[in-house]
Structures are given as C-alpha cells and as structure tokens.
Structure 1
Amino acid sequence: EEFLPRSIGPHLFFWSLVFFFGIMPAGMLTENTTQPPLLFRKTAPYLFLIVLALLALYPVFTANFVWEDETVLGSPQLHSATGLADIWLKPGQSILLDYMPLTYTTHWVEYQLWGMKPLGYHVVNLLLHITNALLLLYLLRRISMPGALLIAALFAVHPMQVSSVAWIVQRKDLLYTFFYFLAFLAWMRFNEKQSWQRYLLVLVLFTLSMLSKRMAITFPVAAFIYSWWRDGLITKQRILQLLPCLLIAFPLAYIVNFTLSEPATPPLVVLSIPQKFILVGRNLFYYVGKLLWPSEHVPFYPPCSLNVRQPLLCLFPITVLAALLALWKFRRRIGRGPIAAAAFYIATLLPVLGVAYWCLMGRTYVQDHYQYVSSIAAFMLVGYGVSVFAPRLFCHADKCFAAALLLPLVLVAQQHTALYQDCETLFTPNFAKYPTVAPEIAHNLAVGLLRHKKLPQALYAADYAVRLKEDDAQHWQLKGDVLMELHQLKEARAAYEKGLQITPHDENLINNYASTYIFYGDSPNPESAIPLLLDALSRHPRDFRLNANLGFAYKVAGKKIEAAEYFGKAVALNPARCNPEILYQYGTLLIETGQAQKAIAPLRQACAQINDPRYVSALRQAETAPSK
C-alpha cells in the first residue's frame, strides 16, 4: 500500500460502490424491460465503458516513465525529421531491434508534440485502450453476442490489461489490437457481401496491425475460427482467402525473428521438444489462472520447472489437449462456441506460449500483457454465461453477478496501475519477492532509487544486478552512476572501466566515464576525456551527449573555438528541444569568440525555457554587443 498514490483510498472505494450499485442495477449491463429513448440506448453502453475504464485506470495520469520507456523515447530516430524515414526504411537499425514502424511513428509524432513529458504518452495509451474496448463492444453487438457489454467491460478493466496501458512502450499492444479489431470488422463485412474492395480493406488493416506488432500474425487463424463458428464450414475458398494474410505476415515476422532479435540465451530458451510441450501447457494454465485471480502484478515472474523426469508436469499439456478434444466431440450438443473460444484463446497466445523464441524468453516465460487480445475468449465465455444462465436464478441476478465481477477488478486494476508511478514503485515488490529471477529487476529498482536520491539502497540494488550478471555493461554503468552521486570518484571510474571492457564502444558508457574527468574531482582533467569522446564521435557523429560533453571538455581545457563548434553541433542535432544549459554555454562562447549576433538566438531559446538570471544577463550582453 505504501506504493499507492494518496488519491487511492477509502473515498475511492466508497464512490466505486456508489457507481456500481447505482448504475448497474439501472440496467446498463443487460437488456431492460423498460424502453428509454433510442439515443440513450445506443450511446449509454459506450459512455458506461468510457467511465468504467477511466475509473479503473485513472492513476495512469500521474505515472512516469518506467523500464524501457526512456530507452525507446530517447532514441535518436524519434528526435529528427530524418529519423522518421529511418524508422520505416532501415529495419536493421530498429529501436530495441524490433521492427514496428507504425508504433514508433506514433512515438515520433508525440515526441515532436510534448518531448519527454510522460503525461501525453499515457493519455494516448489510455485513449487507445478505451477505443479498443468500444470497438470490441461494437463487434460483439454486431454479431448479437449475449452479454456483449459485460465482455467489453471485462476487457476494459481487467488487471491483466494494465501493463499494456500504463507501460508506455506497450503502445504496440494497443495499436496492433486497434487495427486487428478493424480488420476483424472488415472481415465480417467481407463475409456478408464479398467484393474485392472489402477484401483489400482486410489486407490493408491487417498489414497496419502487423506493422504495429508482429503478434498480429495470429489474425488469419482467428478470422478462420470466427467464420467457422458462424457457419460451421471449412472450405478451400476460405483458406485461400486468408492465405494472402500469411504471405504478408511471414516476411515481417522473419525480419524481426531471424535478422534483428538477439540470439537465444540459455538456460531458458534452449529447450527440448518435450520441455516445450510442458511449457505450453504450464503457460496456458498460468494465463487462465491470472484471469481468474489477478492479485499479483510484477514485471518478471519466476520460470516454472520443465523437468521432463517429473511425469506430473505432463498433466498440464495433456489436460489442455483432453479439454480441447472433449469440446470438439460435444460441439453438436453444446454448440461450437466453447471450442471456438478455446481455439481462439490458444491461437492468439501461441507465439508466446513457448513454441517459438521471443525477446524476453531469456529471462521469463510469461508476462501479463501477452494476453491482451486472447483474454477476450475467456471474457466471452463469462459474459455469455452470466447473461444467459444467471437470470434463471432470480430477478436481476445477471446485474448482481456483473457488479460482483467488475467492482473488485476495478479496485485491483487501480492498485496495479498505481505501481507505474516510477521504477521504484514498480520494481520494489518484484525485488522483494523474486530478486534472482532477472538482473533487470534489481537494475530498474536501482534506477528508481537513484532518481529519488536513496543512494545507499540504490547502490545495494545496483551491486545485486552486477552480481547476477557481471558481463552486462549496463549494470556496471548504473553502479558507476550511483557511485558518482555518492562522490566516490575512484570507485565510479573503476565501475565504468569494467563496463567499457565489456562493450568498449558504448556511447553512453563513454559519456559517463568522460564526465568523471570533465565535471568532477578537485582538478578536472579534460585532456583524458577528449580522445575518448572524439573516438566515440567518429562512430556516433549524431549523438547529442557526445557532442555536448566534448564542448564542455574543450571549454574546461580553455579551447573556446573548439568548444563553441561542438556545442553548436549539439544544438543543431536537437534544435527544438535542446537543453537550456547547452544553449547558454553555446551562446556565451559565441560572445567570447566575437560572434555576439549569432549568440542571440540560442540565448533567447534558453530564456524561453527557464528564466535564469545567468541566461537573461548573457542575452542582454549579446543584444548590446557591437556588431562586427
């Protein structure tokens, strides 16, 4: 509870009760015997979903960047006009080695609008999630699915959906689902009345979904399952109609899986076929269990045992197969719905069940956000059951069951969303319960603690990450950063040097290591930093920090002309959102080297960002200096 913001408290629980037991019994979750105005009947369910999602996820408005958010948003491709072309045309240089150009294009647009302010990114994520819930409701009502509003409400507020919304880099889940649903709508319309225009729209929307995240590769199978559920037919024509989707999907999946992804890392990825058989079964049980009881939420869960010498572990996949066979055998008695839902659930999860390699498999087998789409199948079974069978018990039983389901889910979702306030709140519970699962847990916790200036705790967490994986340069860099804050200069340099032994050309490590000679110590030694920075710049000429630090190094060394040159290059790399201190340093050096008129523009930009007396004084000096 110490990680929850102050706004979450007893008053919120009270208003949630008022909301659920005041609105739901009014008939918003099921058909009502009275007939309100037509406009209200059409719009009220959608308005209800919007309010419900906001109630469950509102802590996201105060959330910050966590985990990989700043790595992605700090990528040079997002900061310049040419970067947009690189996002699309240079898959080999993809951010985080993941080719998702449409997702990164949305981040590029946002960076131009609000830079590194997290609120804008979180608002867009939340709006996308709400839009997906509204689209789902529309799709379900279009096929007259009983309990459609309850199904969409479960999708909107279930705690398993939180990480897709509150974690900014999971924009890919939200965006691919948006186009996935639109492609489904186009496929429905194509099935109703076939035309080449409608078919082309299916292919276009599916391609957009694939360009958002490669999990969309499951769409052809999901569309086939839907069509079979509707009419019970398996035809050659239908298979051929979906074949072009696979021809679009596999090249995009190949780019990521075989040309960009990091090589598989033992011991989690190198699995035998029997181990993968067990893993698929265990993962399915895990995901279904999390839907039923979503009390725990951490970024990294411990890997399960896959010991093939334990026969009981084979019961997981065998039970799954037996359940599927039973649903298939009794489909004429119970209908095609249950087997179609089970097939949809497994098919849309299959890429991350353990059959194929995915990016995080080297550290964990499961993550909550993987079933953002597949969870719909489980919600459909629940929504259908409550809508059809609950009214047989007593009057308004369906409404009571719906309220009993949604109220605790909303409250748990609020708590899970509140964990995304920062790295400290998100990773402290993970480190407390599963400290050895992945070094990223301790690493990200140290990042959060460092930002809050809890330096002894940050050093402990950074040390823990180093002990778990000594050959990772990022952990040594973080340890060096913490030691610098503790004013342990000698130890910090030793940590940076360890990191540089592992990755000698890492520009971030070089920047931090060089900074120890420029800014710190009783007697700065910029001559030691300048060769390092020049060497790094030869490989990364467009790196903002390298240029800026080289400017500082030359200034400390008394070489004003060279300092002005590199400060100018840094400003040119990010002119709209340049750090005001860099602008100030550039402006003052221009004045000192007799270029006062040229100094006016950067100094005005610095004053516009921060009303610092130094900036104002320098600007006046530049404006009043005689022109040369």
Structure 2
Amino acid sequence: MGIDGLTTNERETLERARSRPPKSQMREDTDRGAAAQTDDAETKPTEASTRPLLPPVLFWVGGCVLIYLLTFLVYWPSMNGGFFWDDMKYVVDNDMLKRADGLRPIWFEPKAYKMQFYPITYSTLWLDYKIGGADSTLSYHLVNVVIHALNAILVWVLLQRLKVPGAFFAGLLFAAHPINVESVAWITERKNVLSCMFYLLAILAWMSYSRCNGIHRYLLALFFFTCGMLSKTLVATLPFVLLLWIWWKAKKKSYGRELIGLIPMVAIGVGFVKITMWLESRHTEGHDYGLSFLDSCIIAGRALWFYIGSLLWPFHTTPIYPKWQIDSGQLWQFLPALAYAAVLYATWHFRRRIGHAVFVALMFFGMTHGPSLSFFQFGYLGHSFIADHFQYIPSLAVIGLATAIVATTLRRWLPRRADAVGCVIAVAVVAVFTNVSWQLNHHYVSEESFWKHGVDTNPIHTNHSALGNVYLREAIELTKTSRARDADLSDEERQTYREEAAEKKALAYEHIEKSLDIREHARGRFRLGELHREDGDHAAAITQFEKAIEFNMGNKVRELTSGAAYMLGLSHFDLGQYEEAEPALLTAIATNRNSFEPCLLLGRIYLRQKKFAGAVEYLQRALELNPEYTRTASYLKTAQAQLDKEK
C-alpha cells in the first residue's frame, strides 16, 4: 500500500484505465487523486478516514480561524520589530515610497528601481509607508503576517484538493514553521509572502482549468501568475511546476491544450527575468563568484539535502549560514547531488508501488529551489549558498509529503486509532514548532538583536561587521544628541550621552576589527573609516576609505564605491585638501550620477577654488537632485554672481 492508500493491484488497474478512452465518470473525477495518480478508484476506506468530524462549513471556518490565531501568536513578538539589513535600501531610503505619487515610478519607471522590478510588492510597501512612514513598522509586519496566514490556508486548500492526508495539519505546520520566520518577520521579504500567495492561487486556478476547461479559468491562472511575477521573479518556476502537474494529473486528451497554455506563461516569465537581470546590471558589475557548472552541481546537491534536513529539524537556524568550501576536484563532494538524483530515479521507478506523489513532491522541491541553487549567480551568494528565505515556497513539498507519509503509515498500522494518534502527533509537533518560532521572532525585534543572533550562531565577518555598524549608528545618534543646542539637557545628561556614545564606539571598533581579522572586505574598511571620522581622525579615515574602494572587487557594488569615494572626498575637504578631494568626488559622481552630496561638495570646493564655471555646473545638478536643501541655492547664487563678474 502506498501513501495514497491504494494497493499495488489497485494502482495497476488505474494505470491500465488511464490508457483507455475516459468514461464520463472518469472525466468528472480525474482531479480527485493526491498522493498518486487516482481517478475513480479512490477507495472508500481512504475517503472515510479523511471525512471531517465537524460539518464542512464549521470545519473550514474553524480551521481558518485557528490558523490565523496560531500565526498571530507565533509572530506577536516581532510585530513592532524594527528595520534592518536590506530594509534600509528597500524601504527606509527608498525614494519611491516617500513620494506622494510613488505609484507612478513604481509601475511605470523601471529605471527608478535600485534592484528588482517588483511593482506589486513595492505598491504594498508604499501603502505601508503612507500609514507608518519610517517611524512605525506595525503595518508592515501586520500585512506580512496576514498574508502568511492566508498562504497557510491556501496550502491546506491545495493539499485538500489533492486529497493529501493530513492537509489541515500541513497548513498549521506551514503557519508555525521556524524556517518561515525569516520570510515573514523580515519586512523586505514581503516579496516572498506575496509571491507565494499568487503562486498558490495560480496553481489552484490551473487545476480548475485542467478539470473543467473554460477560458476564464485559464485567464485567471495567467492573471495570478503575472501578479506573482510582479511580486518576485522566482515565480518564473511555475510553468515548469504546471508541466509536472500536466504529466501527473491531466487527461491525455487535454495535454495539447494545457501545453499550449503554458507558452504565454513562459514568455511572461522570461520577460520579467530579463528586466530583473538588466536592473541588477545597472547597479553592479555583475556577480561572478568563479563558480563552474560542476561547482553549482555540488552546491545544489548539498543545498537540497540541507533544506530537507532543516525543514524536518528546524532547531539550528541563523541569519547567514556558513559558506561551504567547494572543490570539484574532490569527487566525494558530488555524493549529495548523486544521492538526490538516485532518490528521484527510485521514486520514479517504483511509482506504481508507492504512488506518484513522492516523485512529484521531490521534483517540485527541486524545481522551486532551482533559481537559488547557484546555477544563476546573484548577490546573496557572496554571503552564503543557502538561506531560510529561499525555502518559503519549496517547503510546501516537504511539509505536505511528511504529513502524508505519517498519516498513511498510521492508517496502515493503527487503522482504528489513526485519527486520534495522528492528532496527538500533529498537536505536539505544531506546539514545538510554535515555541521555536516564537523564540526566533524575538531576534527580529531590533537590528541589534538580529545581528547579535547572527554573531552567536555563526560568527562570520558579515555578522560582526553588521553588528559593529549598528553600534556605530547608535554612537553617532548619541553624539548628535549630546551636542544638540536646542535639546533641553543638563550638563550631566549630556555627559551621560557622551559616555554611552563612547561605549558604543568601543563595541563598534571591537566587532568591525574582528570582522576584518576574519576576512578582508570593503564594507568593513568603509565602516572603520566612518568610525575614525567620528573620532575626528580624518587621516586614518582616508586610509580606510581608499582600502574600501580598492577591495570592492572592481566596483562590484557601485553604491559602496560611490559612498566610499564621497567619504574620502569629505575627509580631504575637512583637512582643507581640496586638490585631493576633487578626484574622489568625481569618482563618486561617475559611479552614481544621482548622488546629491558629492555634487554639492564638489560645487563648494570649486567655489572656494574660484572655479566658478565648475561650481555652477555641479551646484545646479545638486539643486536638481535635491531642491529641498535651501543652502544649495545660496551657494549657486554666489557662484553664478562671481561667474557673471568674470564675464
């Protein structure tokens, strides 16, 4: 008996039936199977064992309420969590979100994007920004949690439609699973929860189209797929998943119609992928980590087994996992990839005995992980080859398969007590996962707690550098407060702020220097330069900013080169070294032509050097980039007056 509840003889009968012309009753029930290809031969014991104890309406309403309550319980600790890491770039410093007419550039100006073209994702963030701005994060987290709970319900619905045993508990596990915390509690990963919602809706719409035909059903599936692509490019894997569905469930006479229906999806997917690649190329010089095809095969094999293990035993998560040392010259490193391929072959070969579901689940898992397995190189690979947020959609396969295997095993060995024992096991597992996720959410309360968790679980250079940067920013704010003239503070209070700032700077030095001891990297040099500037040591800062530019891997991250060049120019400016500041500022402007600060500072330098034509040029550009800074107009007026006198 397989995990679909069918015996070998029954399954062979079904296989023979699929090769014959379908009867009317078979046409009605083609979509009923779940764990294997099932048509009219679903056994009565299986149907009886999956019959809900409550009336259907009460069961579904109660189930939805329970999933939402569980989800809010899990994510309550991080509901007011702050911004951190990519949140600064994608939300806090995102000009599109700040503009009143931000929806126009979000939808119609791809060049306004710093990275990915995700208009639906940014539209939701734009609405959140209008509600809470950069001061309150409640609306951002609330939307993420609500969508995540909806996704858990959609997981339940999808698996129920597939007749997978334990579908409801699979939805609960998805809602409470610790691996999903990173995707839900991290504001920037709004793209994950949104794209998953559209992904699941598109699959459900396609299943309806496959079963009942109808152009409106197909257009609905196409609409959800397009919305998913507008939320995150990784949804491009959906046509391949639907191809798997066609092989598994579709009627033979509808193969042609459904295969043709995939063509527009593939075209849309390719188009959006090209847009994303173009946008990334505008802000980087490309990502080349020297990985060959064989290296990527090694990474893929290790990653897939790691992901399966972490989904089944999610008790050792970390923001950034250790980066593996890959060597295609060591043959043993290919073993995980070969093992996964062997398991795929075995589940295919024995599909008539164990059901098609195991093969389908493993294929789904591999397909949806495909874009993140390093065959396409992207920025995050510089940190690690694996990440929890890569698992949000693929986790459905392992969660659904695991619950089905447990439920089927219990029905086989404990037919009279299967439901009771299954409920006890499910409640215990959900309770444990809820507790782990609830604790993980405490690390998303603030940027400091997030990076402390990273240092504690994986003390690599990235985590130490980021934590040092947190302390640096806190020190800068404390220093500003202690020096503020309009602040109603006593001398003792100002001294307290200065002492706290000194403590924060000491911690910043400790972690940033430790990160550089572990590995030389450009961002660490940049942050160390900022620390020296904060201490007033401009000469030492100049050395660090020069090293930051040098170690930036040939201008791989343009914003880092631009920022380091600007700070280098500013340090020379503070020392009165105008000739040395000029080339640094020109580099900053050439790297990022939309940067206001380098244009303003270069204009001021030219004004002091009495190069009035250059001063007018760059001050005018600065005024165009930031018309709200009133002093720019004053500088420009002075430069223009002096230029007119020369004429």
What TM-score comes out, normalization by structure 2 length?
0.72
In structure 1, C-alpha distance between the alignment counterparts of 2:279 and 2:599, rounded to whole Å: 31
**Maintained 8 Å contact 1:483/1:491:** yes
1:386 aligns with 2:406: yes
Change (3 A) 1:572 1:271: closer
**Maintained 8 Å contact 2:570/2:581:** no
In structure 2, C-alpha distance between the alignment counterparts of 1:176 and 1:427, rounded to whole Å: 27
In structure 1, C-alpha distance between the alignment counterparts of 2:127 and 2:580, rounded to whole Å: 35
Change (3 A) 1:64 1:30: farther
In structure 2, C-alpha distance between the alignment counterparts of 1:451 and 1:343, rounded to whole Å: 46
Q: CA deviation at 1:187?
A: 0.8
**Secondary structure of 2:376's match?**
coil
The correspondence for 2:160, drawn from 141, 156, 160, is 141
| Superposition pairs of residues 200-239 of structure 1, within 5 angstroms | 200-231=219-250, 233=252, 235-239=255-259
In structure 2, C-alpha distance between the alignment counterparts of 1:466 and 1:105, rounded to whole Å: 39
In structure 1, C-alpha distance between the alignment counterparts of 2:409 and 2:392, rounded to whole Å: 26
Change (3 A) 1:512 1:121: farther
Q: CA deviation at 1:150?
A: 0.6
Aligned partner of 2:84 in structure 1 is 66
In structure 2, C-alpha distance between the alignment counterparts of 1:283 and 1:470, rounded to whole Å: 26
Question: Aligned AA for 1:102?
Answer: I
Change (3 A) 1:534 1:248: same
In structure 2, C-alpha distance between the alignment counterparts of 1:550 and 1:416, rounded to whole Å: 47
Q: CA deviation at 1:107?
A: 2.2
Aligned partner of 1:6 in structure 2 is none
Q: CA deviation at 1:127?
A: 1.8
Q: CA deviation at 1:363?
A: 3.1
1:458 aligns with 2:508: yes
Superposed CA deviations along residues 131-165 of structure 1, whole A, max 9, x for unmatched, are 21122223333444321111111111111111111
In structure 2, C-alpha distance between the alignment counterparts of 1:419 and 1:303, rounded to whole Å: 22
Aligned partner of 2:389 in structure 1 is 369
Change (3 A) 1:111 1:533: farther
Q: CA deviation at 1:470?
A: 4.9
1:476 aligns with 2:476: no
Q: CA deviation at 1:525?
A: 6.7
Aligned partner of 1:331 in structure 2 is 351
Superposed CA deviations along residues 237-279 of structure 1, whole A, max 9, x for unmatched, are 322221221111112212333663445656x542243x33322
In structure 2, C-alpha distance between the alignment counterparts of 1:533 and 1:40, rounded to whole Å: 68
Superposed CA deviations along residues 346-370 of structure 1, whole A, max 9, x for unmatched, are 1111111233323322331111111
| Superposition pairs of residues 410-559 of structure 1, within 5 angstroms | 410-432=434-456, 434-436=458-460, 439-453=461-475, 454-466=504-516, 470=520, 472=522, 474-496=523-545, 498-499=547-548, 508-509=563-564, 512=567
Aligned partner of 2:420 in structure 1 is 396
Q: Sequence identity, in percent?
A: 27
Q: CA deviation at 1:106?
A: 2.4
1:288 aligns with 2:308: yes
Aligned partner of 1:176 in structure 2 is 195
Q: CA deviation at 1:47?
A: 0.5
Change (3 A) 1:66 1:91: same
Superposed CA deviations along residues 446-474 of structure 1, whole A, max 9, x for unmatched, are 122334542222112223444566562x4
Q: CA deviation at 1:500?
A: 6.0
In structure 2, C-alpha distance between the alignment counterparts of 1:498 and 1:352, rounded to whole Å: 31
Q: CA deviation at 1:317?
A: 1.8
Q: CA deviation at 1:45?
A: 0.1
In structure 2, C-alpha distance between the alignment counterparts of 1:484 and 1:187, rounded to whole Å: 59
In structure 1, C-alpha distance between the alignment counterparts of 2:316 and 2:196, rounded to whole Å: 24
Question: Aligned AA for 2:530?
Answer: D
1:107 aligns with 2:125: yes
**Maintained 8 Å contact 1:459/1:483:** no
Aligned partner of 1:315 in structure 2 is 335
The correspondence for 1:270, drawn from 282, 285, 291, is 291
Question: Aligned AA for 1:456?
Answer: A
Q: CA deviation at 1:216?
A: 0.4
**Maintained 8 Å contact 1:545/1:570:** no
Task: Report which stretch shifted further, 368-377 or 304-313.
Answer: 304-313
Aligned partner of 1:618 in structure 2 is none
**Secondary structure of 2:79's match?**
helix
5+ residue gaps, structure 2: 1-48, 476-503, 609-614, 635-647
In structure 1, C-alpha distance between the alignment counterparts of 2:360 and 2:251, rounded to whole Å: 10
Question: Aligned AA for 1:105?
Answer: S
Change (3 A) 1:191 1:30: closer
In structure 2, C-alpha distance between the alignment counterparts of 1:188 and 1:574, rounded to whole Å: 53
In structure 1, C-alpha distance between the alignment counterparts of 2:183 and 2:86, rounded to whole Å: 13
**Maintained 8 Å contact 1:30/1:149:** no
**Maintained 8 Å contact 1:515/1:529:** no
Superposed CA deviations along residues 190-217 of structure 1, whole A, max 9, x for unmatched, are 1122222222222222111112111101
**Maintained 8 Å contact 1:424/1:447:** no
Task: Report which stretch shifted further, 327-336 or 213-222.
Answer: 327-336
**Maintained 8 Å contact 1:186/1:198:** yes
Change (3 A) 1:300 1:193: same
**Maintained 8 Å contact 1:298/1:426:** no
In structure 2, C-alpha distance between the alignment counterparts of 1:280 and 1:120, rounded to whole Å: 37
Superposed CA deviations along residues 565-609 of structure 1, whole A, max 9, x for unmatched, are x99x9899597xxxxxx89x99xx9xxxxxxxxxxxxxxxxxxxx
In structure 1, C-alpha distance between the alignment counterparts of 2:542 and 2:149, rounded to whole Å: 48
In structure 2, C-alpha distance between the alignment counterparts of 1:148 and 1:514, rounded to whole Å: 60
In structure 1, C-alpha distance between the alignment counterparts of 2:601 and 2:128, rounded to whole Å: 27
Task: Report which stretch shifted further, 484-493 or 442-451.
Answer: 484-493
In structure 1, C-alpha distance between the alignment counterparts of 2:566 and 2:326, rounded to whole Å: 43
Q: CA deviation at 1:544?
A: 6.4
**Secondary structure of 2:165's match?**
coil
Aligned partner of 1:302 in structure 2 is 322
**Maintained 8 Å contact 2:318/2:458:** no
- How many residues get paired? 538
**Maintained 8 Å contact 2:117/2:279:** no
Aligned partner of 1:41 in structure 2 is 59
In structure 2, C-alpha distance between the alignment counterparts of 1:31 and 1:295, rounded to whole Å: 34
In structure 1, C-alpha distance between the alignment counterparts of 2:101 and 2:120, rounded to whole Å: 15
Question: Aligned AA for 1:225?
Answer: L
The correspondence for 1:52, drawn from 70, 73, 83, is 70
Superposed CA deviations along residues 21-71 of structure 1, whole A, max 9, x for unmatched, are xxxxxxxx98654x46x6532310000001111122222213211211112
In structure 2, C-alpha distance between the alignment counterparts of 1:144 and 1:346, rounded to whole Å: 22
**Secondary structure of 2:384's match?**
coil
Change (3 A) 1:135 1:574: farther
Superposed CA deviations along residues 367-404 of structure 1, whole A, max 9, x for unmatched, are 11111111111111122233343355336101111012
Q: CA deviation at 1:526?
A: 12
1:160 aligns with 2:179: yes
Aligned partner of 1:604 in structure 2 is none
Q: CA deviation at 1:498?
A: 4.5
**Maintained 8 Å contact 2:210/2:250:** no
Aligned partner of 1:346 in structure 2 is 366
In structure 1, C-alpha distance between the alignment counterparts of 2:510 and 2:74, rounded to whole Å: 35
**Secondary structure of 2:274's match?**
helix
In structure 2, C-alpha distance between the alignment counterparts of 1:119 and 1:548, rounded to whole Å: 36
**Maintained 8 Å contact 2:595/2:625:** no
Aligned partner of 1:250 in structure 2 is 270
